[in-house]
Structure 1
Amino acid sequence: DVTHSHNSCGILLHNITRNVFVFVRQFRPAVLMHDVGMKLLSVNGETCVNIEHDTLQRGFTVELCAGIIDKKDKSVEETAALEVLEECGYRINFKDLEPISSTRLPLNLGTLQSMFYIKVTDDMKVDGYGGGNEEEGELIQVVEVKVEDVLKSVFDDQLPRPVGWTFAIVWFCYTK
């Protein structure tokens, strides 16, 4: 069982102006499907478009700012900087990214995810950016969590989040 996919990058943004982490809240159809089941998503093979708002919310996850590495002319770090601007609205210098680690996403992907940490300030925020790329079908909200509150979130089973998010937070707690 193999799914062809691209390698990716994930970025833990720490806004030091307000001492908050900047995450993204993003709709993931697979999360909704596995949470509520396919029967709610289709009737007689037809896709349902009228899913109740509360049910739809169960398909959102809180994640690191992230993106796939699909541009051959850009390094992983350059791609990460573009994703930070696109998803969170901060203009960063890719040379300021601090590597956290690279991990393999097991099971059917086997892809490599390179994770980074970067400090940002309110002055680095660019008007009109953030929220993802609508043309790519992204539905992203920027979420800020106080640094002192985030460790509680790591162990909150009600918060849907990928393992890379948890890994980056634990890395921060041990190294920063």
Structure 2
Amino acid sequence: MVALISYISTESLSPKNFLKPDRHVEYLFGIVYYLKLRELFGKTGLDEEDEDFISLSASVPASKGDTIELCAGLIDGEDPRPEKTAVQEVLEECGYKVSESSLRLIQVFASSVGLIGNQMTCYYTEVNETLRVPGAGGGLREEGEYIQIIEWPVTKLDDLIEPRADRPGLSASLLYALSWFKTTILPSMK
């Protein structure tokens, strides 16, 4: 699996490509959504499963399970190089054509430890409007991807990093990448 954090070079200094998948039916039982539903219905223990909860959860709007994630994808094509997948995912999900040489390795680490223990390669890249491909981005509908791109101002980076009750659900890889960006890239921008 690969994941990316991208920075769009503009005067407004807004990092691009934090993703918010639209939670359509395909995603209804995603882990974050499921946990938010349990919280919504006051379920705290793992042994509190019941049919009433399952039937009630089907009537809750999918928007209750929104998460913000990095641009990411499985390495499942003919070319097994993470860089190749990263370039493809930036185009499909974010709408920018970047080169492999523009990718900066952040880290390679284990993710989903305890479940599948897969390896994630995380990159950083910078984009600008000249790299935008008209009509690209938002995911591949034929693969069930419905992605909304979120532009988050660098000046409000701590709003995502710091713990807050009203913060949307974030993936661990996004928190790691944001912290890396804050300590590695941001100081050189000031």
TM range (shorter): 0.7 to 0.9
Q: Alpha-carbon deviation of 1:42?
A: 4.1
Question: Of Structure 1 and Structure 2, which has the larger fraction of its residues in strand?
Answer: 1
**Matches for 1:1-176 after TM superposition, within 5 Å:** 8-17=1-10, 18-22=12-16, 23-26=18-21, 27=23, 28=27, 29-37=30-38, 42-43=54-55, 48=58, 51-53=59-61, 56-105=62-111, 106-155=113-162, 156-157=164-165, 158-176=167-185
Q: Alpha-carbon deviation of 1:34?
A: 2.0
> Does the 8 Å contact 1:25/1:143 carry over to 2?
yes
User: Quick one: distance in 1 between partners of 2:125 and 2:71?
Assistant: 11
> Does the 8 Å contact 1:33/1:41 carry over to 2?
no
TM-score by length of 2: 0.78
Q: Alpha-carbon deviation of 1:173?
A: 1.2
Residue of structure 2 equivalent to 1:5: none
Structure 1 residues 70 and 40: CA distance shift in structure 2, 3 A:
farther
User: Quick one: distance in 1 between partners of 2:85 and 2:7?
Assistant: 18
Deviations 1:96-149 (A, max 9, x none): 100000110111121011000001001111111110011111121000001111
- CA RMSD in angstroms, aligned pairs only: 2.1
User: Quick one: distance in 2 between partners of 1:73 and 1:85?
Assistant: 16
Q: Which has the larger radius of gyration?
A: 2
Number of residue pairs matched by the alignment? 163
Q: Alpha-carbon deviation of 1:30?
A: 2.3
| 2:19 partner amino acid | V
> Does the 8 Å contact 2:4/2:123 carry over to 1?
yes
| 2:35 partner amino acid | H
Aligned to 1:43, what secondary structure does the other structure show? Answer: helix
User: Quick one: distance in 2 between partners of 1:32 and 1:173?
Assistant: 28
> Does the 8 Å contact 1:66/1:80 carry over to 2?
yes
Aligned to 1:71, what secondary structure does the other structure show? Answer: coil
Aligned to 1:145, what secondary structure does the other structure show? Answer: coil
> Does the 8 Å contact 1:88/1:142 carry over to 2?
yes
User: Quick one: distance in 1 between partners of 2:73 and 2:8?
Assistant: 20
| 1:36 partner amino acid | L
Unaligned runs of 5+ in 2: 39-48, 186-190
